[in-house]
């Protein structure tokens, strides 16, 4: 979006300049400001920067086309003020004010039309079941039912209401199932794929709003609160508009959409290159397992992905075929403090070649395929089996708010740590500090960590 906006801004600038000055438009700007190319780049960068400031590159910020249009108009107004101020301060009396008066409205209108087209494309994709986010609505009163209808009727939002939480409503029969009582919410968030929690409670239950929102936010869920409820002091969040209804949104985890898109691009390129470059090693390991242990060569197991979405992780098999059946009997020898993970230094299920593969982390290489498919990332919290996830405390679950990764802060700095809580603390530190630079640092530090062969 930023690249398109910059290209459109430069194109409009050139078109308006050509209309105003003719084929010699560059010379006209050259005589006024010194460099037409520099002015063109400065205009595009300023425009994109202002759109970013008003949240245009954060799709979860603007729910309505009207809200987005207002943000674009505000950015245009500020751009106009910056342009006129620059002309005054730099005493550029030769610069045509007519170009600015024509260019800025045209810029705003074009950007609004492009955003409307993007919304139409996204809405069409979401009607086909693509890129949907699962919502649980806390509340069963008329306001909650009306808000749930608003969420689902706006397909461009990509939200699907899975059910309601609260007492059975009187009178109207909702079209969504009642998933349980409000006190059941912690268990529901543990056992369902939930991306967002919408809270619409009657006035008599307003005192529960803060504790529910904190519970959901601590687990990495986006929280939506229609503001018909009495005002409650919450530390974070921003107000959005949904068809005239003001909604307080508390977004957990990284929400810098451009950076996350670049992260995904790096995942695609890195995993594809890795699979190609490492293909001789992958083939050699596969042959070694087949000769020494027989089939299957790969170990496939359901793991919890983003917000608990299930996917099958791919690893080279390092254990005996009946490893899962033997796991329950070895639980008492778990060396990890806590119920949500299992590790043994001398696990009897690990094969001889498996010991080597684990020590060198070669068993993890097939996960590059999971990264290429979009189920994992190169860097992120490690994905756990669902029986481990069932043992999470509430605050542990926030590690699910980011896509799992092959490596992370835990792998490079706390691999021998025996406390599961400290593992999770590292994962949450990664989520809270996340940036593309941090990902690159983790990847760079993973190489020496692998060479030390400290895996187990």
For position 311, what pLDDT does the model report?
A: 92
Task: Tell me the C-alpha distance between 174 and 177, whole Å.
Answer: 7
pLDDT in tens, 196-216: 899 988 877 777 888 888 888
Q: Is 349 exposed, middle or buried (0-12, 13-18, 19+ CB in 10 A)?
A: middle
pLDDT over threshold 60, residue 97:
yes
> Is residue 231 very low, low, confident or very high in pLDDT (cuts 50, 70, 90)?
very low
Element (H, E) at 20: helix 2-21
21-35, 161-175, 179-193 — which is least confidently predicted?
Answer: 21-35
Task: Tell me the C-alpha distance between 305 and 353, whole Å.
Answer: 28
> Is residue 235 very low, low, confident or very high in pLDDT (cuts 50, 70, 90)?
very low
For position 232, what pLDDT does the model report?
A: 47
pLDDT in tens, 130-147: 778 889 999 888 888 888
- Mean pLDDT to the nearest integer, 325-334: 63
Q: Which of 191-200, 317-326, 385-394, 439-448 has the highest mean pLDDT?
A: 191-200
pLDDT over threshold 90, residue 94:
no
For position 234, what pLDDT does the model report?
A: 47
For position 394, what pLDDT does the model report?
A: 75
- Spell 189-224 as b/e; 16+ CB within 10 A means b: bbeebbbbbbbbbeeebeebbeebbebbbbbbbbbb
- Mean pLDDT to the nearest integer, 236-243: 62
- Mean pLDDT to the nearest integer, 7-13: 89
- Mean pLDDT to the nearest integer, 53-72: 71
For position 378, what pLDDT does the model report?
A: 92
> Is residue 267 very low, low, confident or very high in pLDDT (cuts 50, 70, 90)?
very high
Q: What is the DSSP string of 270-300?
A: HHHHHHHHTHHHHHHHHHHHHHHT-S--EEE
Quote the pTM value: 0.57
For position 254, what pLDDT does the model report?
A: 58
- Mean pLDDT to the nearest integer, 93-105: 72
For position 415, what pLDDT does the model report?
A: 61
> Is residue 401 very low, low, confident or very high in pLDDT (cuts 50, 70, 90)?
confident
> What is the DSSP secondary structure assignment for residue 307, as one 8-state letter?
G
For residues 287 and 120, which has the higher predicted lDDT (pLDDT)?
287
pLDDT over threshold 80, residue 239:
no
- Mean pLDDT to the nearest integer, 282-306: 89
Q: What average pLDDT does the chain have?
A: 80
Task: Tell me the C-alpha distance between 442 and 414, whole Å.
Answer: 13
Task: Tell me the C-alpha distance between 77 and 47, whole Å.
Answer: 11
For position 64, what pLDDT does the model report?
A: 66
Torsion of CA 270, 273, 279, 280, to 10 degrees: -110
For position 63, what pLDDT does the model report?
A: 59
- Mean pLDDT to the nearest integer, 360-366: 88
- Mean pLDDT to the nearest integer, 387-410: 83
pLDDT over threshold 70, residue 228:
no
- Mean pLDDT to the nearest integer, 343-358: 78
């Amino acid at each position: 979006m930023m690249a398109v906006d910059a290209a459109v801004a430069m194109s409009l600038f050139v078109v308006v300049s050509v209309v105003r000055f003719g084929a010699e438009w560059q010379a006209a700007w050259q005589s006024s400001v010194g460099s037409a190319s520099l002015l063109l780049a400065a205009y595009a960068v300023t425009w994109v920067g202002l759109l970013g400031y008003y949240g245009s590159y954060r799709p979860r910020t603007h729910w309505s086309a009207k809200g987005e249009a207002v943000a674009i108009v505000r950015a245009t107004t500020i751009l106009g003020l910056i342009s006129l101020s620059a002309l005054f301060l730099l005493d550029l009396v030769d610069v045509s004010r007519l170009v600015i008066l024509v260019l800025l409205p045209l810029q705003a209108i074009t950007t609004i039309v492009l955003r409307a087209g993007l919304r139409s494309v996204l809405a069409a994709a979401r009607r086909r079941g693509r890129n949907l986010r699962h919502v649980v609505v806390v509340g069963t009163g008329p306001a909650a039912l009306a808000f749930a209808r608003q969420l689902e009727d706006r397909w461009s939002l990509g939200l699907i209401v899975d059910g309601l939480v609260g007492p059975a409503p009187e009178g109207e029969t909702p079209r969504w199932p009642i998933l349980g009582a409000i006190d059941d919410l912690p268990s529901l968030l543990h056992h369902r794929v939930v991306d967002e929690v919408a809270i619409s409670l009657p006035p008599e239950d307003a005192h529960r709003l803060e504790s529910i929102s904190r519970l959901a936010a601590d687990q990495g869920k986006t929280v939506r609160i229609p503001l018909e409820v009495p005002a409650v002091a919450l530390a974070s969040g921003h107000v959005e508009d949904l068809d005239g209804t003001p909604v307080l949104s508390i977004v957990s985890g990284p929400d810098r959409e451009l950076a996350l898109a670049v992260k995904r691009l790096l995942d695609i390129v890195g995993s594809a290159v890795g699979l190609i470059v490492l293909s001789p090693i992958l083939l050699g390991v596969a042959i070694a397992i087949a000769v020494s242990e027989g089939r299957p060569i790969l170990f496939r197991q359901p793991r919890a992905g983003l917000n608990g979405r299930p996917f099958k992780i791919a690893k080279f098999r390092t254990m005996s075929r009946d490893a899962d059946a033997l796991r329950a009997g070895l639980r008492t020898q778990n060396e990890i403090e806590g119920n949500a993970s299992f590790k043994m230094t001398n696990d009897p299920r690990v094969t001889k070649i498996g010991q080597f593969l684990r020590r060198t982390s070669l068993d993890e290489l097939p996960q590059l395929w999971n990264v290429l498919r979009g189920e994992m990332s190169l860097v992120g919290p490690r994905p756990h089996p669902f029986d481990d996830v069932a043992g999470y405390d509430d605050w542990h679950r926030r590690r699910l708010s980011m896509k799992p990764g092959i490596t992370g802060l835990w792998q490079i700095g706390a691999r021998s740590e025996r406390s599961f809580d400290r593992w999770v603390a590292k994962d949450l530190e990664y989520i809270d500090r996340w940036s593309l630079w941090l990902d690159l640092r983790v990847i760079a530090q993973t190489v020496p960590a692998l060479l030390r062969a400290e895996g187990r």
